[in-house]
Amino acid sequence: MTKKIFHICDDGITNALNQQLSRNITPCAQCGSKERKLGAGKEPHSASLRCGECDRFIKWVSKRELARIESQANDGRNA
């Protein structure tokens, strides 16, 4: 099974992620940033949520959450 790895340069994914999280986001405990990015997952997790500034691990991302983020990114690209 091949895992998707999202790079910081994938603006569609990063923008969709930050839009989806913008309401309930807590600043990073290490640097205070509210920017987030997706990182590589580790079984059974589809991806990791990391600070967009200092790369600190925030939480694991489920398959359902990842599908919602990808769908929102695709909608933004097609608009």
79 residues of the chain, pLDDT tens digit each: 334 444 444 566 666 666 666 567 788 999 999 888 888 888 888 889 899 899 999 989 888 888 887 887 777 655 5
Q: With respect to residue 31, please indicate whether it lies within any of the assigned structural domains.
A: yes
Number of domains comprising the chain: 1
pTM for this predicted structure: 0.66
Q: Closest Cα to residue 13, out of 57, 55, 49?
A: 49
Distances 78 to 19, 37, 56 between C-alpha atoms, Å: 16, 21, 31
> Which range marks the domain in which residue 41 is found?
11-78
Q: With respect to residue 6, please indicate whether it lies within any of the assigned structural domains.
A: no
